[in-house]
Amino acid sequence: MEPEQLIKAANELFQIENDIFAPSAPLNSSMSATGSALTSGGLSMGAALTGSTEAWLEQRMTPTRDLVTNLAEFLTAHSQEMVDVDEFNGTEFDQYANLVQRPRPSSNVT
């Protein structure tokens, strides 16, 4: 890939990171407030709502956001440092493809 394509992809990933993060914090805050109100009203599902929201944020959203961020950072550095090895990596991937779980086939983009 050309460096400009990698930078474009990194910018898109950073936008995705922001799109993931921006609604997560307010949603967590709203769900915690709702959970507290339910608990104060004597409903046991308040604690369950608060707990599930925290688990969703900590176990799903934060790791996903971190993966997206790490990939964007890698692509940014790669665009400037490692473009020369892309062709080699592309041809070598097939022998290691069984090491990863890839839900869809390669697009074979060059």
- Phi and psi at residue 71, to the nearest 5°: -65, -45
Domain presence at residue 30: yes
Query: Could you read off the pLDDT of 16-75 as tens digits, one per residue?
Result: 988 888 888 888 889 989 999 999 999 989 999 999 988 988 898 889 999 999 999 999
- Domain span at residue 94 reads 3-99
Kindly tell me the sign of the dihedral angle through the C-alpha atoms of 54, 55, 56, 62: positive
- Is residue 104 a part of any domain in this protein? no
Give the count of beta carbons closer than 10 Å to the beta carbon of residue 49. 19
Is 72 inside any structural domain? yes
Q: Is residue 27 part of a domain?
A: yes
pLDDT tens per residue, range 12-24: 999 998 888 888 8
> Does residue 81 lie in a domain region?
yes
Report if residue 106 sits inside a domain: no
